[in-house]
A and B are shown apart, each in its own frame.
Chain A
Amino acid sequence: MSRTYLPLWITFALVLLMFAAGASQFDGFASLRVVTNLISDNAFLLVTALGMTLVILSGGIDLSVGSVIALSGVAAALLIGPYQWHPLLAFALILPCAALFGAGMGALIQYYQLQPFIVTLAGMFLARGVATLWSEESIAIEHPFYDAVAEFGLELPDGGWLGATSLLTIALVLLMLVLTHYSRFGSYIYALGGNSQSAQLMGVPVARTTILLYATSSMLAAMAGIIFSFYTYSGYALAAVGVELDAIAAVVIGGTLLTGGSGFIIGTVLGVVLMGLIQTYINFDGSLSSWWSKIVIGGLLFFFIALQKLLSRSWQQKAGGKA
């Protein structure tokens, strides 16, 4: 059992190590302000990665999330700006539409037996295409609701500040934690990722689960887009390019296997935190160039995958046979 949690512990240890390294080198690194900034800066990535975790647990992949973030941002900005909708009303339209978009991709994958990689790739082009069609320029959002949300938050000691979006993100993490690890839907996902044929024979509603899964991922991506719009006060069709890869990287660093069936929501949270800490460290240092973060994240990715491979191999040998 401890082997199952080993990748988690290693990521956790690396997070602590990174934090300790920062704290020992820079004044003010070890403060609640840095921690809360870490959450608010990476809130949209974290929410996206939550959905990605579900999809990867099922053995699939969702490349469309970055574009869905941009699309929902543009949609929100347009509805709030030129169309004069109340933001909450706009969100109430955007989220179900995103879910429908994801369900469509899930249905193509399920019923037409198309590869998730290529279907969500088309979805990525489609969402980004619709977003550019609606607006090629960045649209600023100005609304009293956005100002009110920006002022709302929890004041913490030591300069810490948990804003509304951070609180929302934490709530979503808790929700997904329960949904993935303590609900029937969650166990269906694990079953699918383990072996979809066995899952079907066991009576798992494979079609429904697959479709719901991609719908959830797209809806969380749209949620991330909304959170991103609170962060930037704008919607832009070219925003969040490549976020899907960051999300996949975070999920993998968090110890989830890309073959599906094995991983934890909390691992993804740790993965995002670790990537954010690296970025924070580079920002604090100031002399390190931004490309080092890419190289370090690439190196970390390699380290984790190699580690997982090693662990699963030794586990297989202990079990005394190959699957």
Chain B
Amino acid sequence: MTNEATVLNSHHSDQLEADQLKADQLKTARQARYSPGQSAHKFSLYLYPLLALALLLLVNVLMDPQFFSLQWQDGRLYGPLIDIVNRSAPVALLAIGMSLVIATGGIDLSVGAVMAICGAVCANLLLLGDWSIPAVIGLAVLTGVGCGLLNGVMVSYLGIQPIVATLVLMVAGRGVAQLLNQGQIVTFQNPDFAALGSGSFLGLPVPVWLVLLALLIMQLLLRRTALGLFIEAVGCNAKASRYLGIDDRGIKLAVYILAGGCAALAGIIATADIQGSDANNAGLWLELDAILAVVIGGAALTGGRFSLPRAVIGVLIIQALSTTIVVSGLPAKFNLLIKALVILLVLMLQSELFRNQLKALLSFGKARGGKA
């Protein structure tokens, strides 16, 4: 836009100064709107999720002084922190894909079922025996991408509401996975493939590396190109972005495909981890955890903004919470209840009205009725 303004300037030299001013304003406006890692506002966006995570970790350390200890054993690190990160891996992958879908104002309920399908594909191909591991992985990812394509076409080209469109695959997908497994739990013996779930590389578990790799690639893809901006534009207003020349349908299709691919990776990790495919339980309800993580990371379900690192922090918060409950010695039956209460708290903190009420309550002595 700055370039256009300069071109215009040469045609209307009498308005040069005014136009120059306009161009400068545009430039600053653009920088303020879109400059990753430069705005002061960004810091506070990271502050609350990180604070919540730090608080949880602090509680853990208070209960168990050994919490931060890391041991080096058999060429890899062990410790509660590594545990949290490792266990977060499948949901983190889902959350990366889910972030993009939610940023366009959509939602993908099918990712858990897609995990199950891709897991079943892996297990059955490995049982056949004559497939190389890259081929198995490739086919599983392709399956996930295919599922994403199905969702994306329903949402963007048929104009079906995302909740319903992905509900179709959520219901049918688990059936398809059971069909592939013929209702059995398919187990396999393949140490090389199992390493994807339980192996380690440079001291860290392989799933963690996979998440980091996915995060890095996606972040580069989204923030070093205009794709991320387009996704946010479509989430803010699909019709307006179409008038701007953004292919809103193509963007929506792309995010569901990416979410399907991420779900496939998560399915591969989960299958490799247990060396088997359980169509009934693989990825069950993980879509809800992924959605929660994205929301805890500060994204609005109405779309328009996303942050992959914050979504991953959200996943870590959820996993750290479960670990905290285990470490605290509370029976596992408290797990869901505490999770629900923490989610409610995080949700309420995101509501401006509640924050104002809280402020009014805290400064009750000074300002009476300081409601916004």
Interface residues of A (CB under 8 A from B): 61, 108, 111-115, 117-119, 121-123, 125-126, 128-130, 132-133, 136, 245, 248-249, 252, 258-259, 289-295, 297-299, 301-302, 305-306, 309, 313
- In chain B, what residue has the closest Cβ to A293? B175
Residue in B164, B183, B295 whose CB lies within 8 Å of A305: B164
Q: Is the CB of A259 within 8 A of B172?
A: no
Residues of A within 8 A of B292 (CB): 118, 121
Cβ contacts A to B, 5 pairs, < 8 Å: A129-B335, A129-B340, A245-B170, A293-B175, A301-B164
Q: Apart from A129-B335, A295-B172, what are 9 other A-B pairs with CB-CB below 8 Å?
A: A117-B107, A121-B291, A122-B344, A129-B340, A291-B176, A301-B171, A302-B172, A305-B165, A306-B158
Q: Is the CB of B343 within 8 A of A112?
A: no
Contact with A along B143-183 (1 / 0, CB 8 A): 00000000000100011110111011111111110110011
Q: Is the CB of A125 within 8 A of B178?
A: no
- In chain A, what residue has the closest Cβ to B354? A112
Q: Is the CB of B343 within 8 A of A245?
A: no
Q: Is the CB of A132 within 8 A of B301?
A: no
Residues of A within 8 A of B302 (CB): 115
Residues of B within 8 A of A115 (CB): 301-302
Contact with A along B182-193 (1 / 0, CB 8 A): 110000000000
Considering the complex of A and B, which 8 residue pairs feature the smallest CB-CB distances, nearest first? A298-B172, A294-B175, A129-B337, A129-B336, A125-B340, A126-B340, A291-B178, A295-B175
> Complex: how many Å from CA A297 to CA B168?
8
> Complex: how many Å from CA A130 to CA B160?
35
Q: What is the minimal beta-carbon distance from A309 to any residue of chain B, in angstroms?
A: 6
> Complex: how many Å from CA A248 to CA B170?
12
Residues of A within 8 A of B338 (CB): 129
B334 at the interface (CB under 8 A from A): yes
B347 at the interface (CB under 8 A from A): yes
Q: What is the minimal beta-carbon distance from A298 to any residue of chain B, in angstroms?
A: 2
Chain B stretch 331-372: residues in CB contact (< 8 A) with chain A = 333-341, 343-344, 347-348, 351, 353-354
Interface residues of B (CB under 8 A from A): 107, 154, 158-161, 163-165, 167-176, 178-179, 182-183, 279, 288, 291-292, 295, 301-302, 333-341, 343-344, 347-348, 351, 353-354
> Complex: how many Å from CA A103 to CA B32?
42
Residues of A within 8 A of B169 (CB): 298
* Given the contacts A126-B344, A132-B336, A133-B334, A118 and B295 also touching, CB distance less than 8 Å: yes
Residues of A within 8 A of B174 (CB): 291, 294
Residues of A within 8 A of B351 (CB): 112-114
Residues of B within 8 A of A118 (CB): 291-292, 295, 301, 347
Residues of A within 8 A of B353 (CB): 111-113
> Complex: how many Å from CA A252 to CA B341?
31
Q: Is the CB of B160 within 8 A of A309?
A: yes
- In chain B, what residue has the closest Cβ to A246? B171
Residue in B170, B336, B348 whose CB lies within 8 Å of A125: B336
Residues of B within 8 A of A301 (CB): 164, 167-168, 171-172
Residues of B within 8 A of A132 (CB): 333, 335-337
Residues of B within 8 A of A293 (CB): 175
Number of A-B residue pairs having CB atoms within 8 Å of each other in the complex = 127
> Complex: how many Å from CA A306 to CA B179?
25
- In chain B, what residue has the closest Cβ to A123? B340
Residues of B within 8 A of A248 (CB): 164, 167
Q: Is the CB of B158 within 8 A of A309?
A: yes
Q: Is the CB of B337 within 8 A of A130?
A: yes
Q: Is the CB of B164 within 8 A of A258?
A: yes
* Given the contacts A295-B172, A301-B168, A125 and B163 also touching, CB distance less than 8 Å: no
Q: What is the minimal beta-carbon distance from B21 to any residue of chain A, in angstroms?
A: 39
Q: Is the CB of B175 within 8 A of A291?
A: yes
Q: What is the minimal beta-carbon distance from B27 to any residue of chain A, in angstroms?
A: 35
Residues of A within 8 A of B337 (CB): 125-126, 129-130, 132-133
> Complex: how many Å from CA A113 to CA B348?
10
Q: What is the minimal beta-carbon distance from A316 to any residue of chain B, in angstroms?
A: 11
* Given the contacts A115-B301, A125-B340, A129-B335, A309 and B159 also touching, CB distance less than 8 Å: yes
Residues of B within 8 A of A129 (CB): 334-340
* Given the contacts A118-B347, A291-B178, A245 and B333 also touching, CB distance less than 8 Å: no
Q: Is the CB of A121 within 8 A of B164?
A: no
> Complex: how many Å from CA A139 to CA B334?
19
> Complex: how many Å from CA A309 to CA B183?
34
Q: What is the minimal beta-carbon distance from B159 to any residue of chain A, in angstroms?
A: 6
> Complex: how many Å from CA A113 to CA B344?
13
> Complex: how many Å from CA A298 to CA B166?
10
- In chain A, what residue has the closest Cβ to B347? A114
> Complex: how many Å from CA A238 to CA B279?
19
* Given the contacts A122-B347, A289-B179, A297 and B172 also touching, CB distance less than 8 Å: yes
- In chain B, what residue has the closest Cβ to A130? B337
Residues of B within 8 A of A302 (CB): 154, 168, 172
Q: Is the CB of B171 within 8 A of A298?
A: yes
Residues of B within 8 A of A125 (CB): 336-337, 339-340, 343
Q: What is the minimal beta-carbon distance from B341 to any residue of chain A, in angstroms?
A: 7
* Given the contacts A258-B164, A301-B167, A309-B159, A122 and B354 also touching, CB distance less than 8 Å: no
* Given the contacts A111-B353, A126-B344, A258-B164, A294 and B171 also touching, CB distance less than 8 Å: yes
